[in-house]
Amino acid sequence: MKARIKEISEELKLVISGKTFDALLPPLLFAVVNGRYQLMVAIIMAIALAVLLGIIRVARKQPLRYAAGGLLGVLVASGIAYFSNNAANYYLPKIVTSAILVLAALVSLILGKPMAALTSHLTRGWDLEWYWRKDVKPAYQEVTVLWFLFFLMRLALQVILFRRGDVVELAWTNTLLGLPVTIAGLIISYLYGIWRLRNLKGPSVGEHREGKPQPWEGQTRGF
């Protein structure tokens, strides 16, 4: 059990970093401040926090890509909220992102190039041809279906709360359905994917690359 927990922890580090908080904290601060003060104060505080996080990254000599991405997101969201004079519009970019993910997952399934396989390929650099094997591909298709259902559920909740104009609920929904649920979803995807690959009895990435004949050991780690 300890070995499995360690394995999952190491796998999660490939796609999740503590630096992702650079994108999570400013929207939460925006919602809290907006509930007590004017929209402009909330915008200034959110931007200030994003800049502060960037300064911290520079001081610690850490990569700026997360802080820069978070700052860009805050600037775009703040601009939309400011020019529309509607705090709820601060979360429009996140709703649009959810809609894009729903569409991307659906299109990838229709085209037979599941999003989970493409994401794994980009993250790990494994041979793309391996993912399209008949004894490998179904695992990634099924995981992509799970992703599609989650993205669709999140989008539906975001739209409902946006129409209500509830900024605080939007903030917490985006946060809880962001990193915490993403971590849970990745763990489930990983465990299910490894189990499904074993059942499909296909070769591992290394065995496929080397052209080894059956019987195969199969993929025992990584998805």
88 found inside a domain: yes
Residue 98 resides in a domain: yes
Residues 6+ apart with CB under 8 A from 85: 39
What tens digit of pLDDT does each residue of 69-103 get?
Answer: 777 878 888 888 888 887 888 888 888 888 999 99
Q: Is 21 a residue whose pLDDT tops 70? A: no
Map tokens 């990983």 to a residue: 190
- For residue 69, the model assigns a pLDDT of 72
* pLDDT over 60 (residue 58): yes
In terms of pLDDT, which residue wins out, 65 or 201? 201
Q: What is the pLDDT of residue 126?
A: 92
Structural domain contains residue 215 = no
In a domain, 12, yes or no: yes
Per the model's pLDDT, the better-predicted residue between 82 and 195 turns out to be 195
Going by pLDDT thresholds of 50, 70 and 90, the confidence category of residue 7 is low
User: Containing domain of residue 103, as a range?
Assistant: 7-210
Total structural domains within the chain: 1
User: Is 223 within a domain?
Assistant: no
How many of the other CB atoms lie within 10 Å of CB of 146? 16
What are the backbone dihedrals phi and psi of residue 221, each rounded to the nearest 5 degrees, phi first?
-150, 140
Angle, in degrees to the nearest 10, between helices 137-164 and 115-124: 100
Per the structure block, which two tokens stand in for 205? 């990435």
> Could you identify the residue written with the tokens 């990193």?
179
Residue 13 pLDDT: 61
Alpha helices (H) along 85-114: 92-110
Residue 211 has pLDDT above 80, yes or no: yes
Mean pLDDT of 207-219: 88
Structural contact between residues 26 and 67, judged by C-beta atoms closer than 8 angstroms: no
Which of 194, 219, 189 lies closest to 15 in space, CA to CA? 189
28 in a structural domain = yes
With respect to residue 220, please indicate whether it lies within any of the assigned structural domains.
Answer: no
